[in-house]
Structures are given as C-alpha cells and as structure tokens.
Structure 1
Amino acid sequence: MLEPFRIEIPQEAVDDLHRRLQGVRWPRSLSSDWARGVPVEYLHGVVERWLEFDWRVWEARLNAVPQYRTRIDGQTVHFLHARSPEPHAIPLLMTHGWPGSVAEFIEVLGPLTSPGEHGGDAADAFHVVAPSVPGHGFSVPLEGPGWDHERIARAWIELMNRLGYPRYGAQGGDTGSVVSPLVGALAPDRVIGVHINGGLGFPAAEPGDFDDLNAADQAKLATAEHIRATGTGYAELQSTKPQTVSFALSDSPVGQLAWVLEKFHDWTDPARALPEDAVALDHLLANASIYWFTNTSATSANLYYESRTAPPAARSEVPTGVAVFPTDPAMRHILERWHNITHWTEYSRGGHFAALEAPDLLVDDIRAFFRPLRQQ
C-alpha cells in the first residue's frame, strides 16, 4: 500500500532547534584551518546563518514533489515520485548516500522529468523515483538490524514493482553507487542500465593495478591515499560504534552540523575553498536540518556498521555508465572487473555530491548514457 506523505515538522521542533543553536557550548579552538576538523570560527558563522535559515521554505519546496510512504520487508520506506509529462519517459530509480538525503536531487528533478523545459530534448525524459535510504531522512524509524546494501537493493526492486514499473534504470552516488549496481545485478531482466557517480572508494585492487597509470589516475590515487590517511575516522566510528557517537550528534545540532559539514568540505570540488563555494549554504543547511529533525544520526550511521563485513558483489552484466568527478577515485580498468561499463566520462568540475555541485553535467551524462538503452 502506498500512502501519500507530506513533510510537516512541528513548530516546537523548529523552536527547539533555535534554542539549542543559541545556547551552544563552544569548544576551545586549537587551529583555524581544516587539518584538525571544522574550525570553530568558521562554524560560528554557519550557525548564525542556520538561525536565520527558513526551514518552511525548504519544507514547501520538498513538498512540491509528490511523496509517499510504504512498508517493505518490515520497514517504512519514504520516496519522492516525480512523474514526467512525456509519454515515453522511462522510470529512473535514484539513490542518495551519506551524509545526503533526497533533498540533493531537487536541482535535477526538473531537467530529468521535463527536459524540454530545461534546454534538453523531450525524448530524454524520466519518471524519477528517489527513496530515502532506510534509517535516513523520512524512512524512519529503522525497525531492525540487517539493512545492508543488498537488502536495500531488494527493497528498491520491490518498490519499483509496486509502482508498476517492469523496466527501469538505476542511478546513484555514494551509497547509491553501491546499491544501484546491486539492483541491476539482482534484477537484470528489469534494469536496462545503471549509472553511477561518487564511488565510495577503490574496489579491491590486484597486483599491477597501479602500475603505468596516466597522470589523471595518478592524481586520483594520491587523493584517495590522502583521504584514507586523514579522512576516514568518521567511517571507522560509524562502522564500529555508531550508537556511541550518536549520543553527541543527537543532542547537539551543532555537533550534527559539523559532522556533516566536514564531508562537504573534504569531498566537494577541490577548486572550491569552502563547502558553500561548492554547494549553496541554504541547501547544506536544509540537508543538516533533515538529519536533525528526523534524529537519524545513529540510524544513518548504522549502514556503515551493517556493510563493513559484506562480501564483494558479483560482477553485473547490466550496461553501466560512470561519471567521474573531482575527488572520485574511479579507475576504469579496476571497475570493469565488476561492471559491464559501456559509458565513461571524466569531468574537471564538480565533486562527490554531483547532483548538488554540477547538476547540469550530471543530468547531461545520465541522458547520454540512457539514450541508446531506451528501446531495449
């Protein structure tokens, strides 16, 4: 059963957020740069902006997209369902990641569903289905353990079945770059193609994989090694003790904001000095607000815990397209062991959160990949 859903955050919750933001106990500052984490002085300014931020504007913007909830495998699943007016539109299942939410797709929904109104060809239209990953956003509460990437993929297949879509494409970044290929591997007779960006990291490399790399791949390797050495503490905590760290994040909106904001600093376009140089600050605050209002610090982190010992997925023969943006470590000769790659594009602008940083490039790449697959 599909139930229409609207986001309606109680005013008491908004007022409580403001009270907490006004009563922050700030830590002593040791450094003004990002080497040790989010600088105190910088976060002061972002919190001041959060106090001025109008959540109701973003709530209305999100509610302008049709939304539903349903129960799958004992779990409440929330999703956006933006249908195209074009008669030959194909369904596209889009999966967000952490620390993201369905809000990151707001900028691409119009161009994907109504390309003719956004400088594109009407023949490239999609019906977009964008679920909130269980334990994230409005797919709450997380009602039991075991929600790893494969279980999410199986739930997505069931969701598309309930929506009456026998054939569809799958797309995703971050968590979606893992879940979307699994959807294709588990339902190859239904998925016409899989498009991914923002991969989480290198697949298991084999001897010789990093020999004779070109300059671009050498830069990717250096970036990946730097992130592995200095930027994976959050993942170690979330994959081993997600409940412990959640006490601080669930009680302090500034703690939650810093936890999320650090990733937008580290993973966005390296040509942009600050997170808001890559992604509009109000969009960052809308995303942080969703995590705060839904109290999902623990349950979103749970996916790291569930997936830390998951075996590598089997190779999928579903046609796969990869869009590589700055900070993405993807190397084609490695990924081809697991994917049937038929489309590969590397961009010099954008970053890990491509739907927010470079929506024009991402939309164009999705269109180009699926164009030859539409008649299959």
Structure 2
Amino acid sequence: MISPFRIAVPQADLDDLADRLARTRWPNEVAGAGWDYGFPLARLRELAEYWRTGYAWREHEAELNRLPHFTTEIDGQNIHFVHVRSADPDALPLILTHGWPGSFLEFLDLIEPLARDFHLVIPSIPGFGFSGPTHERGWDIVRVARAWAELMHRLGYERYGAQGGDFGAGISLALGAVAPERVTGVHVNYLPTRPDPAAGLELSAADEARLDKIRHVMANRPPYQALQALTPQTIGYALTDSPVGQLVWIAERFAQWTDPAAPISDERMLTDVSLYWLTGTAASAARLARETPRRIEPCPVPVGVAVLPHDITQSVRPLAERLYDIRHWTELERGGHFAAMEVPDLLAADIRAFFHGG
C-alpha cells in the first residue's frame, strides 16, 4: 500500500530546538586555531545563531510540501519517497538515491530539469529522514537496493535507471546487481577505486596522483567515518541530544567536501541538518556505515561515471573498467561531493547524456 505523506513537524519540536540552541554550552578554543583542531568556534556560533533566530523551518516545510510525497512499507520498514511523473508518458523512470550526510533534499534542484525526460522516484534511505529509524540489524546497501526494486515494482516501473552519489552510488550499483533485468543503467557521481597492485596496469601520471590521494585517505581514516562504522550508537547519543553537535557533525562535511567555487547555501545546509534533527535519525543513519561491508558489488548493467574535481577522491578509469561495464565517463569542470546540490546543471546534463545519449 502506498499512502500520500505530508510534512508536519510539531511546533513543540521546533520550540525545543530553539530552547536547546539558546542553552548551548560552548567549549573554549585555542587562539588562532583556525581549522587545526576542528570546526572553528566563531563560524559554528554564527551558524547556530542563525539556525535559532533567522532560519524558518516552516517556510521550507511549505516549499517541500509542494512536492508529491508518499510512504510505503517494504521489508518491515517505512519508506518515504518523492514521486514526480514526467509530462512525457514514455519517459524513462529514474530512481535517485542520496548519501550521508545528505537526504532526499540533495535532488531538489534536479527535479525540474530531469522531469522533462524522466519519471523521478526520490526515496529516503531506511534510517534517514522521513523513512524514520531502522529497528533491526541488516539494513546494508544490498538490502536497501532490494527495497528499491520492490518500490519500483509497486509503482509499475518494470524498466528504469538508477543514479546516486556517496552511499547512493553503492545502492544504485547494488540495484543493478539485484535487478539486472530491470535496470537499464546506473549513473554515479562517486566511484571509489582502490589501488590494485595485481592489476598490472600502466597508469598516467594524473591517475597515479589520484591513487596517491586515495592511498592517503585509506591510511588516514577520517574520525567521523571510524566512529560511524564502529560505534554508531555511541556517537548517536551526542547527535540526538545536542543540536549543535548534529550541526557541526554535518557542517564540517559540507565545508570540507564541497568546491569553493560552487558553495552550498547555509539555508540549504540547515534544512538538511534540521531534517536529521527533527526526525531523530542521526544514529540510525550512521548505522549504514556499520552495516555495509567494504566489498565491491558486481554490477552487470552499463555504468556511467561523473568525476568531480573537489570530491573526496577521484576515480581512476582503468581500475573502474576492471570492475564495471563503463559506457560513459565525464570529468566535470567543477563541483565536489554533493554534486546534485553544488552543480545541478552539470550533473543533470551528464545524467541525460548517459541515459539518452545527448
């Protein structure tokens, strides 16, 4: 059963958020620290004060409610999704999957340009946002992919494409693996390629430089990643109890993973942070990192890749081609990890080029 859904956050939750922000206990900071010890205090205080006194959730809630939202239950889990049908009845269905610390909000600026050529399905990953928290073990990217296959079947879509970045890329590739007879192709804007000494490949200087960056990231695992992959419940207590804790946990990723030439507005970022806070899904969203094993999912369908110059790492094409049937590869001129939010025009054009050849 699929039911219409409307966002309606209780006023008591918004009042509680404002009260908690007003009573924040701030740590001290070393003089002139900048980013050396973590997120700068002055910048975080600025964001928190705007969140408390200037940001208007109700305005964004009203804007979001102009979209067609729905929920359904799959595999015992509530699934929230936005479903926008193209004016073209013969348009290709396309399921768009977000990552962490994003949400379905990542795709807001893609809806209008893509809906000309695609029927769009934009779900919230179980454990994130309006899909609500998960309540049992096992919600890894493969299980999410199986849920997406069932969702598309319920919507009457028997052939469709998939697109995503971050965890959304892994879920989209897994969807191609679990439903290859239904997925026409997978487009991703994030595709980690691990060094493979046994491959015996002759790589260009540029690709070797990319591999050096990948090796550095692998050898210096970011603290947020280690915490979420090992003890998501532990960090979940802090993020669920402190709005400033939730704010900085996400704001740091937006600051470090985006292209300075394509910034994401504080307004859009705070809507994303608010979504995590108001749905209480910090811990359950973090569990996806714990649940998902570090393995490559075989994906037999055609794959398109968009590489962003300011992403966490950049894919090495010869390594990617050993694992996937790469049919399309684009080196975008700008953008970072949140491509759909940073460069929606470039990403929409690349998605269209992959699925429609132009």
Within-5 A mapping of 1:213-224: 213-224=203-214
Task: Give the alignment partner of residue 60 of structure 2, picking from 58, 61, 78.
Answer: 58
Within-5 A mapping of 1:125-136: 125-136=117-128
Report the CA distance between 1:12 and its aligned residue. Answer: 0.9
**Aligned match of 1:285:** 270
**Aligned match of 1:260:** 250
Against the structure 1 CA distance between its residues 281 and 343, is the aligned structure 2 distance closer, same or farther, given a 3 Å change threshold? Answer: same
Secondary structure, counterpart of 2:156 in structure 1: coil
**Aligned match of 1:118:** none
**Aligned match of 1:202:** 193
Secondary structure, counterpart of 2:157 in structure 1: coil
CA deviations 1:143-169 (Å, max 9, x no partner) are 211000100000000000000001000
CA contact (8 A) 2:84 2:121 kept: yes
CA distance in 1 between counterparts of 2:188 and 2:296 reads 17
Report the CA distance between 1:61 and its aligned residue. Answer: 1.6
CA contact (8 A) 1:169 1:193 kept: yes
List alignment gaps of at least 5 residues for structure 1. Answer: 115-124
**Aligned match of 1:117:** none
Report the CA distance between 1:25 and its aligned residue. Answer: 0.5
CA contact (8 A) 2:190 2:305 kept: no
Report the CA distance between 1:209 and its aligned residue. Answer: 5.8
**Aligned match of 1:192:** 184
Secondary structure, counterpart of 1:138 in structure 2: helix
CA contact (8 A) 2:201 2:318 kept: no
CA distance in 1 between counterparts of 2:271 and 2:23 reads 21
**Aligned match of 1:12:** 12
- Output the TM-score relative to the length of structure 1: 0.90
Report the CA distance between 1:225 and its aligned residue. Answer: 4.0
Deviates more, 1:94-103 or 1:58-67: 58-67
**Aligned match of 1:119:** none
Secondary structure, counterpart of 2:187 in structure 1: strand
**Aligned match of 1:153:** 145
Secondary structure, counterpart of 1:181 in structure 2: helix
CA contact (8 A) 2:139 2:291 kept: yes
Within-5 A mapping of 1:1-376: 1-30=1-30, 32-51=33-52, 52-114=54-116, 125-199=117-191, 201-203=192-194, 205-207=195-197, 213-230=203-220, 232-269=222-259, 271-272=260-261, 278-307=263-292, 309-314=293-298, 316-326=299-309, 327=311, 328-372=313-357
Q: Which amino acid aligns with 1:264?
A: F
CA distance in 1 between counterparts of 2:46 and 2:33 reads 13
Report the CA distance between 1:60 and its aligned residue. Answer: 1.4
CA contact (8 A) 2:335 2:343 kept: yes
Against the structure 1 CA distance between its residues 26 and 227, is the aligned structure 2 distance closer, same or farther, given a 3 Å change threshold? Answer: farther
CA RMSD of aligned residues (A): 1.8
CA distance in 1 between counterparts of 2:206 and 2:29 reads 37
Report the CA distance between 1:334 and its aligned residue. Answer: 1.0
Q: Which amino acid aligns with 2:146?
A: R
CA distance in 1 between counterparts of 2:83 and 2:33 reads 43
Against the structure 1 CA distance between its residues 222 and 38, is the aligned structure 2 distance closer, same or farther, given a 3 Å change threshold? Answer: farther
Report the CA distance between 1:226 and its aligned residue. Answer: 4.4
Secondary structure, counterpart of 2:197 in structure 1: coil
CA distance in 2 between counterparts of 1:242 and 1:68 reads 28
Against the structure 1 CA distance between its residues 38 and 229, is the aligned structure 2 distance closer, same or farther, given a 3 Å change threshold? Answer: farther
Q: Which amino acid aligns with 1:110?
A: E
CA contact (8 A) 1:198 1:354 kept: no
Against the structure 1 CA distance between its residues 257 and 14, is the aligned structure 2 distance closer, same or farther, given a 3 Å change threshold? Answer: same
CA contact (8 A) 1:198 1:353 kept: no
List alignment gaps of at least 5 residues for structure 2. Answer: none
Count of aligned pairs between the two proteins: 354
Q: Which amino acid aligns with 2:274?
A: S
Secondary structure, counterpart of 2:130 in structure 1: coil
Report the CA distance between 1:215 and its aligned residue. Answer: 4.4
Q: Which amino acid aligns with 2:105?
A: A
CA distance in 2 between counterparts of 1:210 and 1:37 reads 40
Q: Which amino acid aligns with 1:320?
A: V
Against the structure 1 CA distance between its residues 340 and 303, is the aligned structure 2 distance closer, same or farther, given a 3 Å change threshold? Answer: same
CA contact (8 A) 1:93 1:128 kept: yes
Q: Which amino acid aligns with 2:50?
A: R
Report the CA distance between 1:213 and its aligned residue. Answer: 3.7
